[in-house]
Amino acid sequence: MTSEQSWNAQVYQANAGFVPVLGRPVLALLAPRPGERVLDLGCGDGALTREIVEAGCEVVGVDHSPAMVAAARDRGIDARLMNATALAFEAEFDAVFSNAVLHWVGDADAAIAGVVRALKRGGRFVGEFGGHGNMAAVVTALAAVLGGHGVDIAAVNPWFYPTPNDYRGRLEAAGFSVDSIELIPRPTPLPTGMKGWLETFAGPFYAALPAGERQEARDETLDLLRQSLCDGEGNWTADYVRLRFAARLSGRRAPR
């Protein structure tokens, strides 16, 4: 059983404001054109969505977090509360864009199927998310710490970090032609350190513990990670590995 990740737009901006900034290369891969209708799948607070709008596109953003949807609407985005595995669109978008979201979606095939439904024939699906080896040191540390507290990480881990071959196969099975897909190692400095990162992204792991054990478990995680991800001056760097892809929906649609 997994716990739901909760989001706070202000905390996210403080601890992870680098996410949309580092997502600009995948936005360039999308190459939005004026007049296109684009779906931003997992729009978050709308920072990158706004840039697609400014490129002259008609954009709809969806996110499963009410707080993030509210923040995106504050930016003037047409943002809607919706789960990535239950997209309610039918052949209306020229492109679907997604940044730093799909590793949170356990049912990857359901999300891809929703994208297929949402796209016009020949439409593009361009995205980037955590790939195989992403945050490997953190995952290993969390497994050790939770195991020490009697929790099997496999029961609470919400992250999906596929290989390129795995995700390519899923895309092709759904009817996509894959133009490019690659893993990109991207060591990322953390503005508020690993403590801020864990508070922002690792909630489901610590939620599996009794409330009185959670701070101790966070401290144990930091102690394990300090040797590998923190330099002598106290600067933390996350061991990110991203999976970036661009695909196009072929003339046929996969069976429903």
For 210-246, the pLDDT digits (tens) are 999 999 999 999 999 999 999 999 999 999 999 999 9
- Give the domain CATH number at 102: 3.40.50.150
Domain count, the chain: 1
> What confidence tier does 7 reach under pLDDT thresholds 50, 70, 90?
very low
- Say if 53 falls within a structural domain: yes
| Domain assignment present for 98 | yes
Tell me what percent of the residues of the chain surpass a pLDDT of 90: 85
Mean pLDDT across the chain: 90
Q: Which of 133, 142, 105, 127 is nearest to 224 (CA)?
A: 142
215 inside domain:
no
For 121-131, the pLDDT digits (tens) are 999 999 999 99
CA distance 123 to 220: 47
Residue among 48, 59, 35, 76 nearest 118 (CA): 59
The predicted model scores a pTM of 0.89
Coil, helix or strand for 123?
strand
Q: What is the pLDDT of residues 179-203, one digit of tens each?
A: 999 999 999 999 899 999 999 899 9
Beta strands in the chain (DSSP E): 37-41, 58-63, 78-81, 93-99, 119-130, 176-189, 237-249
Mean pLDDT, to the nearest integer, of 2-17? 46
Q: Is the pLDDT of residue 247 over 60?
A: yes
Residue 13 inside a domain? The answer is yes
Residue 250 is predicted with a pLDDT of 85
Q: Say which range, 24-28, 45-49, 90-94, has the weakest mean pLDDT.
A: 24-28
Number of neighbours of residue 165 by Cβ within 10 angstroms: 10
Residue 42 lies in a domain: yes
Residue 175 structural domain: 9-134+159-189+239-249
- The answer as to whether 68 is a domain residue is yes
| 3 has pLDDT over 50 | no
